[in-house]
Structure 1
């Protein structure tokens, strides 16, 4: 047999083996290469049904109330809707940078610039806004990319967990959950006697409040103080609107004298929030026994829809309760 024939047969055999090797590699990769990994999917249950989403989404757009919770979990969205300056001001610098690096696609959930959003080529859209906004743009969002939507009544811990799962940022959630449990347990143990023997009321006032009014806060951070810490705080009767929905005139401030301790909103520096300042200037406030005795406690609540701000709230509450223990 000639050497030329052997060479041709050897080349043919090598080519065949190479083809088989490539075929086996392709069949056995099971999503191991970048392309297959990007194509892998999983399913999550949401307000808008069971949604098939990327296993490892890379280009996430957050809309409505999902913006800051996703960033709090370490996410870096490519698109966001607007949040208020007051919300941005209290963010840690790293989170503020992550928000400002994203493209703003609308002022609110129902005012999304769909063309701009589509231009970002998202592989996942996270949404929490009103049912009316969903009726307005929901189906159009779903036509752009897999969209996961949550109702406004979703409990904050469940909300954080579902965002972490959908956005594939569960590692941060695990650390935050552990820290939350640790802080709650510390406060309960350290201030057990105060918690068990003291009546509290949490009052507030927003920039939306009518002049000369305040409200009793039984939602928001006060829910955490009541339901997780165990503070004796007033709340609405079952089936009734929250107490926070009712504006009370300044004339009723004197009725707060029946509570041992009053908590009220302060900023990160411990100063009464701007909307609440008018309350502190009234004679009714100044004459309250809790105010006179130092039992009116300012507490900082940067938010209550994700663990990061809630942890800051618990730290502030801890410091406030410490003044009662002296």
Structure 2
């Protein structure tokens, strides 16, 4: 079915929603308040306190919720698209789970609400910009209880909130324990290196202007800095992240003041495609950290849920192992 603009679908959707609400009312007419309480619970989210099923079975994930929900063991019945590059990084089982769900559109701005309603979800999870959510909040709420998070939600809090909403807290508890163990292992193994070494994380985005790179303080490097304890440059409180400022290749030479450089690689350990032009420059090759083997490629498949973060920690562990031990 061809997806039509949202404003043209509202009228057609109304009849479908009315029928669904009538059926819901008929099916629940015999329940008393106590029975309802046993079957539902409340969660707090960006759109307030929401009553949801105690054990939701038909969950739709929109915006940024699909990958992290699947990462904790969720099996959504409907999803909006994620990029091909992000899909390629998913473990095979998670990729299969995503592909088994019904596609509902490229993003929430194009979500097929009629198709979504036909899936008869008992819970909708969504993370998008606040302004984007406001345009479809009422329509989604008429279909099923909807739990919303803004883009500023910290990733650990987001994992906990998704697990609570999806009744998957046991899975997240296991991931959190593994995360804690991996961080402790890295801190213990490389205690002197962490204490005595200056690091800098660099990157280059697909959207970067030619001949530019960034010193990054967002994404996985936040875990290396805030959780592991690496000494890396970061923006002053209240300022824009360093990663938002493109630097010309002429600035590569200034990286020589750092002991170790962290740069992005793919799963095959080769420099990320967007970053490859940096490592091909003579200025990069001349850096002391590069010539001494202290430029470390680290794989970051994502930083919005524990699964990819655990992969990042494994990669960081392997990278730090290549550095000479400090007495």
Q: Distance in 2 between matches of 1:209 and 1:95?
A: 30
1:177-218 per-residue CA deviation (whole Å, 9 max, x = no partner) reads: 000000000000000000000000000011111111111110
Q: Which residue of 2 aligns with 1:139?
A: 138
Q: Distance in 1 between matches of 2:229 and 2:176?
A: 18
Count residues with an aligned counterpart: 295
Q: Please show how residues 221-300 of structure 1 align to structure 2 within 5 Å.
A: 221-300=220-299
Q: Distance in 2 between matches of 1:236 and 1:139?
A: 38
Q: Please show how residues 111-260 of structure 1 align to structure 2 within 5 Å.
A: 111-260=110-259
Check whether the contact 1:81–1:112 (CA below 8 A) recurs between aligned residues.
Answer: yes
Check whether the contact 1:73–1:164 (CA below 8 A) recurs between aligned residues.
Answer: yes
Q: Which residue of 1 aligns with 2:60?
A: 61
Check whether the contact 1:250–1:279 (CA below 8 A) recurs between aligned residues.
Answer: yes
The alpha-carbon deviation at position 86 of structure 1 amounts to 0.9
The alpha-carbon deviation at position 45 of structure 1 amounts to 0.3
Unaligned runs of 5+ in 1: 1-25
The alpha-carbon deviation at position 82 of structure 1 amounts to 0.4
Q: Which residue of 1 aligns with 2:71?
A: 72
Q: Distance in 1 between matches of 2:52 and 2:320?
A: 45
The farther-off stretch of 304-313 and 133-142 is: 133-142
1:96-115 per-residue CA deviation (whole Å, 9 max, x = no partner) reads: 00000001111112221111
Q: Distance in 2 between matches of 1:189 and 1:109?
A: 44
Larger Rg: 1
Give the TM-score taking structure 1 as reference length: 0.88
The farther-off stretch of 180-189 and 113-122 is: 113-122
Runs of 4+ in 1 over 2 A off after TM superposition: none
1:122-142 per-residue CA deviation (whole Å, 9 max, x = no partner) reads: 100001001121122122111
1:11-49 per-residue CA deviation (whole Å, 9 max, x = no partner) reads: xxxxxxxxxxxxxxx99xx76xxxx79x81000000000
1:161-192 per-residue CA deviation (whole Å, 9 max, x = no partner) reads: 00000001111101100000000000000000
The farther-off stretch of 237-246 and 107-116 is: 107-116
Corresponding residue SS for 2:322:
helix
Give the TM-score taking structure 2 as reference length: 0.88
